[in-house]
Amino acid sequence: MKKRIVLLSTLSILLFSCDTMQPLVGELGRAILEEPTTAVPTEFEMGSGLKEALIKGTKEGVANLSLEGGFLDNPMVKIPFPEEYDKVANTLRDIGLGNQIDQVELSLNRAAEDAVIEASPLFVNAITSMTIQDAQEILFGGKNAATNFLRAKTTDDLIVAFSPKISQSLDQVNATKYWSDVTNVYNKIPFVTKVDGDLTNYVTTKTIDGLFLKIAQEEEEVRENPIERTSSILKKVFDYAATKTQ
């Protein structure tokens, strides 16, 4: 009987300890992640850590934008009706054709969401070909240094990759038809200056702009939020960089 009482008491203590220790362990883990380290990374670690962070960040950014609504539902990157044709949009809304304007805007964003996935391999190629000097300049170069590096290295390739995909996507979602319908209606209005526009170039430019806004956001998260440093090398490299850029 005494043995049973001792056993039950021991189990109760263990169960109580598990319940109370679990949140404590979680808090301890969070504290460890947030506590900066002062270790100095090697050049190899700097390069490896930065590449790991950039590949992770760019893949997440591209994946988010490629979802349905990735552009359309995000005010930061949403592609609006072309500003230079605001007069067209306003005129057509005034005569009850606002739905066609909305269809054009929807189609532009769907095309961007369809095309942006093409950026991932281009980013990975630029990141993996980065030199030690590139890595150091990016690491200590300010909050948008990595984004600026990727923009400089990949913009031309992104235009080449995006343009045919966007052109095809615009056709698939009937954006070209909607745009043609809109411009045809507008051009029939007496005394207006007839308009034409290259939707593919416009959407390609806006897609690239939105993409790099998202990449900059991902970069800022890694630089500013210790919780985003999800591996020991990321923690070591970005903790060290934070001490040098303060």
**pLDDT by residue (tens digit) across 86-125?**
777 788 788 887 787 788 889 889 999 999 999 999 999 9
The mean pLDDT value for 189-216 works out to 85
Q: Is the pLDDT of residue 52 over 70?
A: yes
> Residue 38: pLDDT band by 50, 70, 90 thresholds?
low
Rg value, the chain, Cα: 26
In this predicted structure, what is the pLDDT of residue 185? 77
Task: Give 35 or 53, the one with higher predicted confidence.
Answer: 53
In this predicted structure, what is the pLDDT of residue 92? 76
| Alpha-carbon distance values, 178 to 105, 169, 182, 199 (Å) | 10, 13, 6, 11
Calculate the average pLDDT of the chain.
81
Residues 6+ apart with CB under 8 A from 54: 123, 127, 146, 150, 219
The mean pLDDT value for 212-217 works out to 95
In this predicted structure, what is the pLDDT of residue 187? 77
| Alpha-carbon distance values, 142 to 137, 138, 145, 219, 220 (Å) | 9, 7, 5, 10, 10
DSSP letter at 196? -
The answer to whether 94 and 176 are in contact (CB under 8 A) is no
Q: Is the pLDDT of residue 136 over 80?
A: yes
138's enclosing H/E stretch is helix 132-139
Q: What's the whole-model pTM score? A: 0.75
> Residue 193: pLDDT band by 50, 70, 90 thresholds?
confident
